[in-house]
Structure 1
Amino acid sequence: MIKVVRIDHRLLHGQVIFAWTKSQGIERIIVIDNDAAGDDFKKMSLKLSKPADIKLSVFSVTQAKERMEKINKLKSNTMVIFGDVLQAGEIIPDLNGITEVNYGGVKNRPDTKRYSNAVFLNDEEVRSSQRLKEQGITLFMQQVPTSKRESLDALI
């Protein structure tokens, strides 16, 4: 069962591993990121950074689409993390029961607008996010479960 969907260019890091997994009782993390899936060193680093009691899978968008039926049938409490907004926009509509998406970190780039301290979106990412919003998915920005939850819906 997918409990948390997060977009964070950092993928796995202290906030994700300790705050989100503990607060949500996460047993499995699925990283969907084309760069990480195609880089053995990144995959190894992600596997080394996860707690021993949490299962980890790293997929490209294509691999995730091929496994969508299995992903949607998972019984364990699962967190899905995307490395970027556009890849998330390709997969999230196919995930069963997703009602909200946490924008945890989208890095600042020259062509982006600031939406929070950690979320910067370009025009294409805004359009992708708006499509999710139009499907009834709530978009919010929150670093850790104890920090203030800010609506992205209201800003795009």
Structure 2
Amino acid sequence: MIKLVRIDHRLMHGQVMFSWTKAEGIERIIVIDTATAEDDFKRMSLKLAKPQDMKVSLFSVDQAIELIPKIKKLKENTMLIFGNVTETYKFIKAFGAVPEINYGGILDRPGAKRFSNAIYLTDDEVEKSRELANMGITLYMQQVPTSNKDILNDKL
């Protein structure tokens, strides 16, 4: 069962591994990030970062789309982590709407507009986010579970 969908350019790190997994009772993490899936060093680093008692899988977005039937059947409380809006959008369009998407950390880049201290979106990412919102998905900015949820839908 998908409990949390998060976009965070850092993928797995302290906030994810400790606060979010405990707050949501996460038993499995699926990282969907093509750049990481295709880079041996990044893959190895991700494996080293995971706690021993946590199931972690890493897929490119295309691999994850092929695995949607299996992902939908998972019984464990599962967290999907994406490294960027574009791959989140591509996966969710294939997967179908989820109730909400947590925007946790998206780097500032040339042409990106600031939406919070940790969220910067390009025009293309704003458009993709609008399309996700139009699917009935609540998009919210929240770095850790104890901070306030800031709804992104109305700011796009």
Q: What TM-score bracket applies, with the shorter chain setting the length?
A: over 0.9
Counterpart amino acid of 2:108?
A: N
Shift of 1:51: 1.1
For structure 1, the residue ranges without an aligned partner over 5 or more in a row are: none
Maintained 8 Å contact 1:72/1:96: no
Maintained 8 Å contact 2:65/2:95: no
User: 1:11-30 maps to which residues of 2 (within 5 A)?
Assistant: 11-30=11-30
Q: Distance in 1 between matches of 2:96 and 2:125?
A: 22
How big is the alpha-carbon RMSD for the aligned residues of Structure 1 and Structure 2? 0.9
What per-residue deviation string (whole Å, max 9, x for no partner) do you get for residues 11-36 of structure 1? 00000000000111101000000100
2:25 paired with 1:4: no
Shift of 1:135: 0.4
Maintained 8 Å contact 1:28/1:78: yes
Shift of 1:93: 3.0
What per-residue deviation string (whole Å, max 9, x for no partner) do you get for residues 25-74 of structure 1? 10100000010000111111111111111101100011001111001110
Moved more, 16-25 or 91-100: 91-100
Which residue pairs with 1:114 in the alignment? Answer: 114
Counterpart amino acid of 2:84?
A: D
User: 1:126-137 maps to which residues of 2 (within 5 A)?
Assistant: 126-137=126-137
Q: Distance in 2 between matches of 1:96 and 1:61?
A: 14
Shift of 1:5: 0.1
User: 1:6-155 maps to which residues of 2 (within 5 A)?
Assistant: 6-95=6-95, 98-155=98-155
Counterpart amino acid of 2:119?
A: V
Counting matched residue pairs gives 156
Maintained 8 Å contact 1:61/1:87: yes
Identity %: 58
What per-residue deviation string (whole Å, max 9, x for no partner) do you get for residues 97-124 of structure 1? 6100000000000110000000000000
For structure 2, the residue ranges without an aligned partner over 5 or more in a row are: none
Q: TM-score, normalised by structure 1?
A: 0.97
Q: Cα–Cα, structure 1 residues 96 and 132, in superposed 2: closer, same or farther, change >3 Å?
A: closer
